[in-house]
């Protein structure tokens, strides 16, 4: 019977791991003890070995995210058919031997998707009138099933530290005409938080920052990476022309509605992005010291994420790290 190559548990903190590399191709003969593939997570990298002799069949591609117990592949005896996959059509292996001239075709696998829950914010259906699309025009394609119900997380972040940093740097950089904004601090925090996590850094650390234009003015969009010094990121944002777009792909989109006075909003990840973070307009909250209320400036950060790649726990940890960097922002000046 088929011997599964299961993903081992890498620890309580490793919710998901990455199929970093298959050492042997699909259909290759394997022997007991052969190293088959490598798993990676934030903490460790582990090689998974074959438990028996046979033919190797892949079920997860390199770069796929998986959890403990998932079947990454199978080891089959010569001529043994592979078991069917739930929701997918399975092919039968031809008998092994010298008559095999063409390489084996990898088995299809069913991608894991997250279902919507009561805490999920669903995207409402939108009907585009013909007066907008024009005669013969086509409306934008419907979102994928995973993004049609993108999970949302929100938290309140204190801005005292970020405001102090922006004020100090504005004075220091006045000769160069540079003036950082809260949006620059948040964008830098997002890029650094993503780069700190190995599973997310696999997708890159470039994020786009969009500041909503007031009135009929188009948004101003710039790209930020964790490797870019904070001063350079501010310079790039100030040099970006209204309506511009980043040249390359981004792992996250950041949108500020502060110029419009909107203190809470939600956007879905765009094409190719795993995360969409929105910044609400600053508002006055209340902190307490010795039971006395003290006013403080706060803002709402909202995070929508693609559930095909991130679990709620990973997304929540990422958002909490972004909050910590924004509230204690001097770490953002490193690099």
CA distances from residue 197 to 228, 240, 275, 310, 317 in whole angstroms, order as listed: 17, 29, 14, 12, 10
What is d(CA 271, CA 249) in angstroms, rounded to the nearest whole number? 9
Tell me the pLDDT of the chain (335 aa) as tens digits. Answer: 788 888 887 766 566 788 888 888 988 899 998 889 888 876 677 888 888 899 999 988 887 888 887 888 889 887 777 766 543 333 334 444 444 444 444 444 334 333 334 344 444 444 444 433 344 444 444 444 444 567 889 999 999 999 999 999 999 999 999 999 999 999 999 999 998 887 776 777 788 888 887 666 667 788 888 888 999 999 988 888 665 666 678 888 999 988 888 888 878 887 678 889 999 999 887 666 666 667 889 999 999 988 888 888 888 999 999 999 999 998 898 76
Q: In order of start, what are the domains of the chain with their CATH numbers?
A: 1-108 (2.40.50.100), 150-333 (3.30.559.10)
**pTM of model > 0.85:** no
Would you say 119 and 150 are in contact if contact means Cβ atoms under 8 Å apart? no
Residues 238, 239, 242, 246, Cα dihedral to 10°: -100
CA angle 305, 309, 310 (to 5 degrees): 55
Q: Phi and psi at residue 212, in whole multiples of 5°? A: -60, 135
């Amino acid at each position: 019977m088929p011997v599964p190559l299961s993903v081992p548990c890498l620890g309580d903190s490793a919710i998901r791991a990455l199929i970093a590399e298959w050492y042997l191709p699909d259909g290759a003969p394997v022997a007991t003890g052969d190293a088959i593939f490598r798993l990676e997570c934030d903490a460790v990298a582990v090689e998974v070995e074959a438990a028996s002799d046979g033919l190797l069949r892949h079920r997860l591609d390199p770069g796929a995210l998986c959890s403990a117990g998932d079947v990454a592949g199978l080891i089959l005896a010569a001529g043994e058919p592979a078991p069917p996959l739930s929701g997918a059509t399975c092919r039968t292996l031809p008998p092994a031997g010298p008559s095999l001239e063409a390489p084996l075709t990898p088995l299809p696998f069913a991608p894991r998707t997250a279902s919507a829950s009561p805490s999920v914010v669903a995207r409402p259906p939108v009907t585009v009138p013909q007066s907008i699309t024009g005669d013969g025009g086509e409306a934008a394609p419907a979102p994928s099933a995973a993004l049609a119900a993108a999970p949302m997380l929100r938290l309140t972040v204190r801005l005292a530290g970020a405001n102090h940093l922006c004020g100090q740097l504005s004075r220091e950089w006045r000769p160069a005409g540079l003036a950082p904004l809260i949006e620059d601090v948040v964008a830098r925090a997002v890029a650094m938080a993503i780069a700190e996590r190995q599973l997310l850094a696999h997708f890159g650390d470039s994020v786009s920052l969009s500041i909503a234009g007031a009135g009929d003015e188009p948004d101003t969009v710039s790209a930020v990476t964790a490797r870019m010094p904070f001063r350079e990121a501010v310079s790039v944002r100030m040099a970006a022309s209204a309506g511009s777009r980043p040249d390359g792909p981004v792992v996250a989109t950041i949108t500020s509605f502060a110029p419009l006075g909107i203190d809470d909003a939600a956007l879905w990840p765009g094409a190719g992005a795993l995360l969409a973070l929105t910044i609400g307009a600053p508002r006055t909250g209340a902190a307490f010291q010795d039971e006395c209320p003290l006013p403080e400036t706060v803002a709402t950060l909202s995070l929508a994420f693609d559930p095909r790649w991130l679990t709620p726990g990973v997304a929540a940890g990422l958002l909490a790290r972004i909050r910590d960097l924004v509230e204690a922002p001097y770490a953002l000046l490193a690099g």
